[in-house]
Amino acid sequence: MDKTGPLSGKISGKNRPFAEIVTDARYAVFSVMRTRSAAQGTFNYWVLGSGFFVSTKIFLTCAHVLMSPATPHVDGDTYKLISTTRTTRTVWQVENAVVGNNIRLFPDSDLALLTVDGGESRSYLPLEYGDVQVGTEIGVAGYPIPNVPTVNGNIVLDGLIYRVARNVLTATYTTNFNTNNGASLTNIPAIEVNFLFVPGNSGGPIFLASNGRVIGYVHGFRSYKIEEKMETAATHLTLPAGMSNSYILSNSAVYSIGIGMGRVRTHLEQLGVTL
């Protein structure tokens, strides 16, 4: 079932109300689902994260969305890109997905680019490669915390809910990351905010709240331990045998991190993506 929304081509990058921006963005922002053939005509599926179109053919998400150690990509998998509203659902499909062909992975930038056939009038988001001032209002959009059950063997997509958030850019800096698959990301232009990105946000756009231009994509979060102290469990609690009623309480500061679009500009331009 392939349908397009009421928008086509590049979504406006002009200043306008935030509510209008996020309404339009939902036609370019999608949940990423993988399906894989299993025994006796059945299949397995995983709801992996979020992503967005950067041209009518190129879809951007995180490399770790496709290559999680627990459920890594296997050549031949099918990916469904799913967008929902209260009245419509849009599904684009990447069949027989093969790394180096219709999937390109750039682990050093936690970047995955999918080439999606058809849909020459697809909606896609405007990009911004320049530096952004700390304190600038930004937005994020995606499909976090997906709940996609099955009923009688059929996937029920009603649990995929488009969600947005708005805050300010807390900090920008260059840093190194260690990913959950053991890879190292070095000299990453980080975009930091102080509200929490949750599972399913990965790969979604981080954009200017004033005009919707994408300045980065969601990578994950960092936790900084700021205090440890000894606490004592309440006297009325029954603890397991052998456990002391004293424990160490750790307090941490958690910041959500995105990767700036400037890091991946060359990769995008090589696939024909322009501002």
DSSP H or E stretch at residue 18: helix 18-25
Whole-angstrom CA distances from 275 to 133, 172, 264 are 20, 22, 13
Greater pLDDT, 184 or 51: 51
Q: Does residue 251 surpass a pLDDT of 90?
A: no
Q: What is the pLDDT of residues 88-141, one digit of tens each?
A: 888 999 999 999 999 999 999 999 999 999 888 899 999 999 999 999 999 999
Q: What is the pLDDT of residues 253-264, one digit of tens each?
A: 557 899 999 999
Other beta carbons within 10 angstroms of residue 140's beta carbon come to 28
* Identity of residue 99: V
State the pLDDT at residue 4. 44
CATH topology of domain 9-223+254-270: Thrombin, subunit H (2.40.10)
State the pLDDT at residue 1. 38
Highest mean pLDDT among 98-112, 146-160, 208-222, 227-241: 98-112
Q: Does residue 28 surpass a pLDDT of 50?
A: yes
Closest by Cα among 210, 23, 69, 56 to 133? 210
State the pLDDT at residue 179. 65
Question: Where exactly are the structural domains of the chain?
Answer: 9-223+254-270
